[in-house]
Structure 1
Amino acid sequence: MSTSDTPSQPGLQAPAAEPRQRRHLGLLPKILIAIVLGIVCGFFFPQWLVKVFATFNGLFGNYLSFVIPLIIVGLITPAISELGKGAGKWLGITAAIAYGSTLFAGFLGYGASTLVLPSILAGKSVGNVTNPEDSLLGPYFTVEMAPVFGVMTALVLSFLVGVALTFVEGTVIQRAMVEFRDIVNMVIRTTLIPLLPLYIFGIFLNMSATGEVFAVITTFLGVVVFVFALTVVLLLIQFTVSSLFFRRNPLVMLKTMLPAYVTALGTSSSAATIPVTLRQAMRMGVSEPVASFVIPLCATIHLAGSTIKITTFSLAIMMLYGMPIRPEVIAGFIMMLGVTMVAAPGVPGGAIMTAAGLLSSMLGFNEAQVGLMIATYIAIDSFGTATNVTGDAAIAGVVDRLVADSERRRPAAAKETV
Structure 2
Amino acid sequence: MKRIEIGLLPRILLAIALGVGCGFFFPEALTRVFLTFNALFGNFLNFIIPLLIIGLVVPGIADLGNSAGRLLLITAALSYGFTLFSGFFTYGACTLLYPWLLEGDSLSRMEESASVVEPYFTVDMPPLLGVMSALIFSFVLGIGISRLSGSVLKGLFDEFRKVIVLVIERVIIPLLPFYIFGIFLSMTVSGQVAGVLEVFVKLIALIFVLTLVLLLVQFSTAGAVAHRNPLRLLRTMLAAYVTALGTQSSAATIPVTLDRTLRCGVRPSVAGFVVPLCATIHLSGSTMKIVACALAIITLGGLPVDAAAFCGFILMLGITMVAAPGVPGGAIMAAAGLLQSMLGFDEVAVGLMIALYIAMDSFGTATNVTGDGAIAVIVDRIAE
| Band the TM-score falls in, shorter-chain normalisation | 0.5 to 0.7
Displacement of 1:117: 1.1
Question: For residue 59 of structure 2, what is the aligned residue in structure 1?
Answer: none
The separation in 2 between residues aligned to 1:244 and 1:342, in whole angstroms, is 27
Question: For residue 69 of structure 2, what is the aligned residue in structure 1?
Answer: 88
Is 1:118 the equivalent of 2:69? no
Q: Is the 8 A contact 1:217 1:376 kept in 2?
A: no
Q: Deviations over 1:40-70 (max 9, x none)?
A: xxxxxxxxx9x93217x79xxxxxxxxxxxx
Q: How many residues align?
A: 252
Question: For residue 372 of structure 2, what is the aligned residue in structure 1?
Answer: 392
Displacement of 1:266: 1.1
Q: Deviations over 1:85-131 (max 9, x none)?
A: xx711111111111111000000000001000111111124589xxx
1:9-20 pair list within 5 angstroms: none
Displacement of 1:219: 4.3
TM-score, with length taken from structure 1: 0.56
TM-score, with length taken from structure 2: 0.60
Question: For residue 5 of structure 2, what is the aligned residue in structure 1?
Answer: 54
Question: For residue 145 of structure 1, what is the aligned residue in structure 2?
Answer: none
The separation in 2 between residues aligned to 1:116 and 1:337, in whole angstroms, is 22
Question: For residue 323 of structure 1, what is the aligned residue in structure 2?
Answer: 303
Q: Deviations over 1:123-178 (max 9, x none)?
A: 124589xxxxxxxxxxxxxxxxxxxxxxxxxxx9xx99xxxxxxxxxxxxxxxxxx
The separation in 1 between residues aligned to 2:248 and 2:225, in whole angstroms, is 29
Displacement of 1:218: 5.2
The separation in 2 between residues aligned to 1:120 and 1:219, in whole angstroms, is 9
Question: For residue 88 of structure 2, what is the aligned residue in structure 1?
Answer: 107
Structure 2 unaligned segments of length 5 or more: list them.
9-62, 112-142, 148-176, 185-193
Question: For residue 348 of structure 2, what is the aligned residue in structure 1?
Answer: 368
Describe the SS at the equivalent of 1:369: helix
Runs of 4 or more consecutive aligned structure 1 residues displaced over 3 Å after TM superposition: 125-128, 215-219
Question: For residue 204 of structure 2, what is the aligned residue in structure 1?
Answer: 224
Question: For residue 286 of structure 2, what is the aligned residue in structure 1?
Answer: 306
The separation in 2 between residues aligned to 1:247 and 1:312, in whole angstroms, is 33
Question: For residue 338 of structure 1, what is the aligned residue in structure 2?
Answer: 318
1:394 is matched by which residue type in structure 2?
Answer: A
Describe the SS at the equivalent of 1:362: helix
Q: Is the 8 A contact 2:284 2:368 kept in 1?
A: yes
Aligned match of 1:255 in 215, 235, 257? 235
Identity level (%): 59
Q: Is the 8 A contact 1:271 1:347 kept in 2?
A: no
Structure 1 unaligned segments of length 5 or more: list them.
1-48, 59-75, 81-86, 129-155, 161-205, 405-418
Displacement of 1:348: 3.8
Describe the SS at the equivalent of 2:383: helix
Question: For residue 98 of structure 1, what is the aligned residue in structure 2?
Answer: 79
The separation in 2 between residues aligned to 1:395 and 1:252, in whole angstroms, is 15
Q: Is the 8 A contact 1:271 1:296 kept in 2?
A: yes
